[in-house]
Structure 1
Amino acid sequence: MSHQIEIVVPAGLEELARAEALRITGLRLEPLTERGVIRATMHGSLQALFDLRSVISVFVVRRFAIPRPRALLGDEHFRAVVAMLEMVRRLHPAGTFQTLFLSAAGADSSVLQRFKQMIGERLGLAIGTEDGDMLIRLRPSRDRSGWDVLVRLTPRPLATRSWRVCNREGALNGPVAHAMAVLSKPHAGDRVLNVGCGSGTLLIERLLITTAAQAIGCDTDPTALACAWRNLGAAGLSKRVELYDWDACQLPLPSASIDVVLADLPFGHLVGSHTTNLTLYPALLAEAARVTRPGGRAVLISHEVRLMERSLATLPQWRVDQQLRVDLGGLYPRIFVLRRTG
């Protein structure tokens, strides 16, 4: 049996997400037509999609040839919607889904309120007010020939990481961190340094791809380091990482001792300020160049695009191999992929 699938990804990372999705047996991808969305047909178990790490959420989709949502209240269409929901529920242990949420224009209308109520009663789910384990989306079909019902395959977005037991404001989301780790071209023999490691997101996503010869995180904030230790423990990675309270601009490391540098640089929004970044960025990039071996890599993300470009222009030790603009819900940082020259 085949299913129509819609994969939601961070806009700007579609090609990386497609490359990951192509490794799933039975998944046939359609050409990209919309930022942040990958459409596909799945021939095989939908559970194979649960392991995608570069995506936000995955939905199963069915188009209903109806003129308006009211028709979903009819017996035939309603039973088809319930069948979709029951199929998704069977993918998980009993009791996984407790609440229901409908995302749609006009979700507060009497018709859609009745629709939610009928589904809740049929499946024994409470109606969520802001979110729910069982998430349903309703929208007009792209060709306006009917209405699409989309059901999320998992009770939480795939972007939600089970290891994140300690969260900090401004922490990098999992899919973007995974993408940065992929862009670093990870090898098991890498000596990896994550400057300003915060809650440990980049280190964890990097080590979940493959091991490293050495993985170091540093941050001057003791609260951040404590948070990182908790997340590393939840991910089962505590013994594979070293954390230190080092200043990223004065690292106690030998020159050319690191293969890969990763960093989620302060944007000046939730963390840091533009004024401090004017001094921080050039100093941090110069110090990262010192400790990185020739031919080594750095993958950095920042909203301070012009400052990054000005700083890198003064540092011939770094060559910019790639820039990716990412949509983080109204913020548009860039991922800089750098190569150490020399």
Structure 2
Amino acid sequence: MVMPCITDHLVLRTIDGAADLLIEELRAMASIHSIRQASVDTVECAIAGSLDELAACALYSTVALRDPGKSLQFGVLGTLPEPVKFRVGVDDPERRREMINATEQRFGWVNRPGDWDVNLVPSADGWIAEFGPLSWTRRFGRSERLPWSTNFVVVEVLVRLAKIHPTHRVLDPFCGTGTILHAVRRQHPTTHLLGLDHNPTALTLATGNSLAAAHSLVTANPLVVGRSPSFVRGTAEVLPVASGCVDRVVANLPFGKQVGSHRANRTLYPAVLDEIHRILTGDGRAVLLTEDKRLLLEAVERRIGLKIVRQRLLRYKGATPTAYVLARTRLPGTARPR
């Protein structure tokens, strides 16, 4: 999207565990300054220029303005067509009605809960206005999901931890509806992508999401020729991949809350690690997300040839999974892969 130059103060919502990555990307943007972490899951900054760079960043879910009146004059809200459509994001009907009436009287906006440009939500410092065009799904499109599909911002963290290069071959052995592979594709359109899942419904949705993602990719940058992921039905315990040919494995492992069980993971996790060890290239790495943490740590300790080189705790909507980065261990006397 191409947006006009504006001046404003922004509040970006991310997840606990991703704020530092978001700040790192914001610092690289010419239009962003005065960056600070306001809480574990919010980052505040000022913008003076175009919103295009910010719109391309996938590490936040929403952008809000603390002063809607000022933003209407000089900032983000002034880019919206009139009359501005809004909703009030509170469950209490009396409180919601009071805010609707006050907003209509002060700004002349139109209450449209099903088709809004601004979502008014309460915060510790008063009401803030979330800017619809910069919400995650409006920037990157909606996709079909299952109840256990990975949170979009979590996926972006996993992809960054994987340190993927454009020529890499990337595998998700628990791909579900393809959320992780589509995130890889946005950042690295030329990577070779393979998704595996035992659920035929998930694979059907993943294929549909891939077509929608391809259209979005071409629309955003007609000069980029993206490589579509391949989706295959199968099990992660026996991957249909030759040994030593995968550069990166990125996956949200079953950990028993919405899919799988701790009992099943006792067998699954060691088998998956055996396959990861078999298929990874010499300098390959795997990024695995789970809340069944002790079980994974014990499985890695028993699996000669793999080690955990990094881990990151994430917190969102009551979930507290950890992302583990695994690499091959070096045998004594062997050179480090280049």
Give TM-score, length-normalised by structure 1: 0.82
Q: 1:94: Cα distance to partner?
A: 6.3
Residues 1:28 and 2:12 aligned together: no
195-204 or 4-13: which moved more?
4-13
Residue 136 of structure 1 aligns with which residue? Answer: 120
Distance 1:240 1:48 in 2: 25
Aligned letter for 1:5? L
Give 5+ residue unaligned stretches, structure 2.
1-5, 218-225, 331-338
* 1:135 maps to amino acid: N
Give RMSD over aligned pairs: 2.7
Provide the residue aligned with 1:44 in structure 2.
Answer: 49
Q: 1:213/1:158 Cα in 2 relative to 1: closer, same or farther (>3 Å)?
A: closer
Q: Sort the Cα spacing of 1:132 and 1:278 in 2 relative to 1 into closer, same or farther, 3 A.
A: farther
Pick one of 71, 74, 87 that aligns with 1:84. Answer: 71
Q: Equivalents in 1 of 2:139, 2:173: separation in Å? A: 21
Aligned residues: 313
Match of 1:241 among 218, 223, 229: 229
Deviation of 1:341 (Å): 2.6
The correspondence of residues 1-342 of structure 1 with structure 2, limited to 5 A, is 2-62=7-67, 81-82=68-69, 84=71, 88-92=76-80, 98-103=85-90, 108-109=94-95, 113-120=97-104, 122-126=107-111, 128=113, 133-141=117-125, 148-155=126-133, 157-158=135-136, 162-236=140-214, 240-342=228-330
Is the CA contact (8 Å cut-off) linking 1:187 and 1:212 kept in structure 2? no
Match of 2:3 in 1: none
Cα 1:115–1:32 shift into 2, 3 Å: closer
What secondary structure sits across from 1:308 in the alignment?
A: helix
Contact 1:192–1:212 at 8 Å: present in 2 too? no
Letter in structure 1 aligned against 2:94 = D
Consecutive unaligned residues of structure 1, counting only runs of 5 or more, are: 63-80, 142-147
TM-score, with length taken from structure 2: 0.83
Q: Which amino acid aligns with 1:45?
A: S
- Shift of the 288–29 alpha-carbon distance from structure 1 to 2, 3 Å rule, reads farther
Name the amino acid aligned to 1:338: L
Distance apart, 1:184 and its partner CA: 0.8
Q: Deviations over 1:1-44 (max 9, x none)?
A: 64222111110111111112222212124343521111212222
Q: 1:326 to 1:58 in 2, by over 3 A?
A: same
